[in-house]
Each structure stands twice: as C-alpha cells, then as structure tokens.
Copies of this chain bind each other. A is one copy, B any other.
Amino acid sequence: MLGAPAQRAIEKVYVRRLRRFGPMQDDDVSALEARLGRMEAYAAGKDLELTTSPPMFLLSGWACLAHSLRDGRRQILAFVLPGDGIGFDLLTRSQRSVEVLALTPLKVRYAQPGFVAGAERLSRVFAGAAAAQQGRMIDHMVRLGRQTALERMAHLLLELHARLAEIGETRGESFHLPIKQEILADALGLSLVHVNRTLQQMRREGLIDMRGSQMTLLDRAALEAASDQSS
C-alpha cells in the first residue's frame, strides 16, 4: 500500500516538471539521471556563473535571469522555479550579459560536463521546456510593453501560481512568494513604490491576500479578467 505513493512522493522535482512537456518513460528518466552530476548550494544574492559551468536543474529555491544597465537599472527577464533548467537553451549560454541571480538560498544539480539531451523522447521533452520558457518571455514582453501595473501584477501572480502548482508547491490558491517587492518591481518594469501601491489596491479590492510572504489569490476570475493576455 505504500510503494506507488512513496515512489511518486520522491520523484525528483525536475522530472515532475519535465513530464509536463511530454511523456517520459522509466528509461528516459534513467537516461536523464545518468547525465546529471553533482549537487551544489548557493546563498541568496549569489550571482551564478553560467558561461563556464555546465547547465543545471534548480532543486529548490527561486532564481531569476536578469540584465543590468550601467546606471543600475535592472530588468528581470524570467523567474526560475524549482525543477526548471538553467543554461540548457541558447538563451542563457549566449555571450549576452544575462545574469543568473539567486533570489533565495538555492540547491542545484549540475549536468555532466558533456551533457547532451539524449534519446528521442527526452530531447522532445527538452524542446518543449524550452518552448514553454520562450512563451513565458513573450507574455512578459506583452506585460512590459502594453499592460498597466495592475494587469502586469495579476498576470505574473497567475503565472507563478500555475508554475508552482505543477510541482506541488501550492495549497489551493495560496503559495509562498519568497521575494521582496523590489524584485517584483524589477521584473514588472515598475518602481518599488508603485508595486506596493498596486498590491495594496489588489488587497483592498479583494483580489489577493498577503500575510508575510504567503500569497493567496482570492478572486481568480477577476485576476484573469485583468490580465487578459489572450488574442
């Protein structure tokens, strides 16, 4: 009576995430596992070196991809959540000055130095994950270019909830949001003050509830209406 559930419970978070992008059979999982190597921990705030190191999976904690301007302005390009890969795609490996930043303490697992995707099914899954990431970046461009502060926030919160739900890190409409409002500001292209204003407004209007770093989506319908995003 314990076998199956127990097995499920210990499934690696990156396998759980990758399953979203296509079927993975036992030999796919072992093929992947065989190509992974050492684990590592990083402190919050740490700037991960990507150009030299092999790609990795995030086991726990939150990271982000960001680009900084000379005068200190910073744009967060994407959030990296547990189970997500870092550095598998061209994006993060290209010469571009894309920084990978630990937003919380991190645990990662590196791929073997000569990592290659491997079997047919496995590489299709990896392609799916890369496509999903690009899709999120498109959403992000639309947010930044054409949405109001409240729309941006609503859409980001929905995205984060959906992604955390995939790996079982939500409880109903609640999830742990372990980042400062300053980080939200750099992600959404807003000022810190306006992020706070917007959150207060969403709170007053009963869209969300925040207690410390616990975020609850109280009115999903309204949030979805606000974030539009469809064609």
Contact = CB atoms under 8 A, between A and B. Distances in A.
Chain A interface SS verdict (over half): mixed
Interface in A128-167: 130-131, 134-135, 137-138, 140-142, 144-147
A172 to B, nearest CB: 28
Interface string A186-197: 001100000000
A52 interface: no
A49 to B, nearest CB: 14
B228 A141 contact: no
Interface string A82-98: 00000001110010111
18 contacts: A67-B142, A68-B231, A69-B142, A69-B146, A69-B147, A69-B231, A70-B230, A75-B145, A90-B130, A91-B134, A94-B134, A94-B135, A96-B135, A99-B231, A137-B141, A144-B189, A145-B188, A146-B189
A146 B97 contact: no
A101 to B, nearest CB: 13
Given A138-B98, A144-B141, A144-B145, A230 B69 contact: yes
A188 B98 CA distance: 21
A41 to B, nearest CB: 26
A209 B34 CA distance: 59
Contact of A138 (B69, B96, B142, B147): B96
A60 to B, nearest CB: 26
A218 B86 CA distance: 41
Contacts of A71: 228
A77 B141 contact: yes
A223 B189 CA distance: 22
